[in-house]
Amino acid sequence: MQIHLVRPGDTLWRIAQMYSVNVSLLAESNEIPDPNRLVIGQTLVIPIWGSYHWVVPGETLYQISILYNVPLAELMRINGITDPGSLPAGMRIYIPQKLRQTTETAAYIDVQASGAASPEIVDRVGIYLTYLNVFSYAVNRDGSLTPITDEPVIQAAYRQRALPLMVLTNFENGTFSRELAATILSSEELQTTVLDNAVAIMQQKGYGGLDVDFEYLGAENREPYNEFMRKAAARLRPLNLLLSAALAPKLSADQPGTLYEGHDYRAHGEINDMVFLMTYEWGWSGGPPMAVSPIDQVRAVLEYALTEIPRSKIMMGIPLYGYDWTLPYVPGGQWARSISPQQAVELALRYNTNIEYDADSQAPFFNYIDEQGRYHIVWFEDARSIQAKFDLVKELGIRGFFYWVLGRDFPQNWLLIEDNFVVRKPV
């Protein structure tokens, strides 16, 4: 498939003609709300096998073969070219589909936030997933787990051959609780109760593994957390259940901060079957405007992680959302509004503004002025930013990638998975 950047004068019909695709298919594949209106800077994924290259003045077929890593003879054969050194400017060259790598993918679904729509969401995109992380069973201070209605979404996961993972959190009163985690991690009895309850639920409901998402632990809980994960591994391995952990995006072993200090990359790399690195939230609702998942920061986290964790266990995080900040940003002031990539494009269309792209962070953004005269900036994800992350996964050779969170996804993402990867299915 091919990513097309909408330019001034583009129409959906003209783009369809360029790539020889049906205009209705193009609109449907990209879920375009109004086919008669496109946003300059918007990206569309063209649903074709392979891609096209338009020759620029002075360009040779040999140069194009090097650019796309396709043998010259193959390009000549496919395109019926006899003189590769002389190509007319503007000629359309077909580039065959690249080889796809096998990878593992996962996505979190918040069943309380998605509610009754959760199974429908999983049925729609579960074909692209290896694992479905069902968020979440919150641990209580007595070791019990707060129940959730997860049977329908588990059944949907199996219908799509995705292995459901039970997510365990230290979530209390709407946030991750350091004190709750300390209460559990300081008591052998409570840890045993938590694991007894988790195993019972997994076996009863058909979960294929446990994903522990304990956050904001602080330094004092670092080693107790490691010990808890070792106990969990000892309980799950004989039952052929997977164990994973969601970890903060660290750049060094001793990185300061409550979010980072409790997560020991080396220990989790030894204990767990895989780790979910939460490589997002650099731009967050309470912070200054910036890309949610800038590629340079993501790369830095992964390169550090590779010094501590086997690459065969690393899952890179990708956000399926963006933020709309009201300017000027004031620390402690109004928080940014979370929006989906589809909503971001609709917002740019509504306020008739162009979408721009930051080359350093590999992320799209735009500015607009609302009806009250307030200035805004929006950072989100599009086909280009997703492709940049997929390229990084392939370059580093890690296990795969995952998403936070289903229900806010956008169609180009799933088209690009299909174009880049063969998703491994354990079910």
Question: CA-to-CA distance for 106 and 117, rounded, in angstroms?
Answer: 19
DSSP 203-252: HHHT--EEEEE-----GGGHHHHHHHHHHHHHHHGGGT-EEEEEE---SS
Structure confidence by residue, pLDDT tens digits, 257-301: 999 999 999 999 999 999 999 999 999 999 999 999 999 999 999
Inform me whether the pLDDT recorded for 133 exceeds 90: yes
Check: CB of residue 427 under 8 Å from CB of residue 164: no
Segment 238-249 shows an average pLDDT of: 98
Q: Give the pLDDT band (50/70/90) at residue 332.
A: very high
Segment 216-229 shows an average pLDDT of: 98
Q: Give the pLDDT band (50/70/90) at residue 68.
A: very high
Question: CA-to-CA distance for 362 and 385, rounded, in angstroms?
Answer: 5
Based on the residue annotation, tell me whether 346 is a catalytic residue of this protein.
Answer: no
Structure confidence by residue, pLDDT tens digits, 144-176: 999 999 999 999 999 999 999 999 999 999 999
Check: CB of residue 114 under 8 Å from CB of residue 406: yes
The maximal CA–CA distance of the chain, rounded, in angstroms, is 77
Running DSSP on this structure, what letter comes out for residue 187?
-
How many other C-beta atoms are found inside a 10 Å radius of the C-beta of residue 14?
A: 11
Q: Residues 6 or more apart from 72 whose CB is under 8 A from it?
A: 61, 62, 65, 84
Question: CA-to-CA distance for 233 and 288, rounded, in angstroms?
Answer: 39
Structure confidence by residue, pLDDT tens digits, 37-51: 999 999 999 999 999
Virtual torsion, Cα 381, 134, 270, 311, nearest 10 deg: -30
pLDDT value, residue 44: 98
Inform me whether the pLDDT recorded for 86 exceeds 90: no
Residues of the chain with CATH 3.10.350.10: 2-95
Segment 251-259 shows an average pLDDT of: 97
Alpha carbon separation from 394 to 130, 180, 228, 355, 401 (Å, rounded): 17, 38, 33, 27, 10
Check: CB of residue 163 under 8 Å from CB of residue 129: no
Inform me whether the pLDDT recorded for 97 exceeds 90: no
Q: Give the pLDDT band (50/70/90) at residue 33.
A: confident
Q: What is the mean pLDDT of the chain?
A: 97
**101-318+399-423 domain in CATH 3.40.50.1380?**
no
Q: What is the CATH number of domain 2-95?
A: 3.10.350.10
Structure confidence by residue, pLDDT tens digits, 182-193: 999 999 999 999
Residues of the chain with CATH 3.20.20.80: 101-318+399-423
Question: CA-to-CA distance for 182 and 191, rounded, in angstroms?
Answer: 11
Question: CA-to-CA distance for 300 and 215, rounded, in angstroms?
Answer: 21
Choose, from 215, 261, 308, 381, the residue flagged as catalytic.
215
Segment 107-130 shows an average pLDDT of: 96
Q: Give the pLDDT band (50/70/90) at residue 99.
A: confident
Residue 169 — left, alpha, or beta (φ > 0 → left; ψ -120 to 50 → alpha)?
A: beta
In this predicted structure, which of 83-87, 122-126, 318-322 has the lowest mean pLDDT?
83-87
Q: H helices of 89-172, where? A: 111-114, 118-125, 151-159
Structure confidence by residue, pLDDT tens digits, 363-380: 999 999 999 999 999 999
